[in-house]
């Protein structure tokens, strides 16, 4: 009987962790911080707002995020999408405080981070959050 209770407890904990991760997926954090950006990130900045997607080689959600962000940038004036593979650049990820991929940073042309998305972004929510920063 003890084994059944242990199994039910493990399932409850796993379920709670799954719900927590699902809720956090694609959440937007608004920021207005100007940090000293690493050179590989600074080289990607364009006029307007640049969505810098930090990805890794074997990240399946990164491919989905790339489709969403590329489409959004192609349909929105003043918005650019750039992808940076941080597989071999752990120092860049660490200096930006990135703990998971995909992570998307919305950066102005002068390097100010206006928002950050952990996971695959929700297109309409992201566009609404970006509107005040677009021309």
In the chain, what are the domains?
28-133 (3.40.30.10)
- For residues 38, 70, 23, 100, the Cα torsion angle rounded to the nearest 10 degrees is -30
Whole-prediction pTM:
0.79
Report the candidate in 105, 110, 53 with the shortest Cα–Cα distance to residue 82: 53
Residue 56: CB atoms within 10 Å? 16
Position 52 scores a pLDDT of 97
Q: Are strands 79-85 and 49-55 parallel, antiparallel or unpaired?
A: parallel
Residue 7: pLDDT band by 50, 70, 90 thresholds? Answer: confident
Residue 113: pLDDT over 60: yes
Q: Which residue has the higher pLDDT, 34 or 68?
A: 68
Query: How confident is the model over 88-100, as pLDDT tens digits?
Result: 999 999 999 999 9
Report the share of the chain in percent with pLDDT over 90. 70
Torsions phi, psi for 82 (to 5 deg) = -140, 140
Residue 74: pLDDT band by 50, 70, 90 thresholds? Answer: very high
Report the candidate in 67, 43, 46 with the shortest Cα–Cα distance to residue 55: 67
> What is the arithmetic mean of pLDDT over 119-125?
93
Give me the sheet containing 49-55, strands edge to edge.
27-34, 112-118, 103-108, 49-55, 79-85
Position 78 scores a pLDDT of 93
């Amino acid at each position: 009987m003890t084994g059944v209770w242990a199994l039910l407890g493990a399932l409850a904990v796993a379920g709670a962790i799954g719900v927590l991760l699902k809720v956090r997926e694609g959440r937007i954090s608004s920021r207005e911080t100007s940090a000293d950006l690493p050179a590989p990130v600074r080289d990607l900045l364009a006029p307007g707002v640049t969505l810098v997607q930090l990805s890794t080689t074997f990240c399946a959600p990164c491919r989905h995020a790339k489709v969403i962000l590329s489409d959004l940038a192609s349909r929105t004036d003043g918005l650019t999408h750039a992808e940076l593979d941080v597989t071999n650049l752990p120092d860049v990820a660490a200096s930006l405080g990135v703990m998971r991929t995909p992570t998307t940073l919305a950066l102005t042309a002068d390097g100010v981070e206006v928002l950050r998305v952990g996971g695959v972004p929700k297109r309409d929510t992201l566009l609404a959050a970006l509107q005040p920063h677009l021309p």
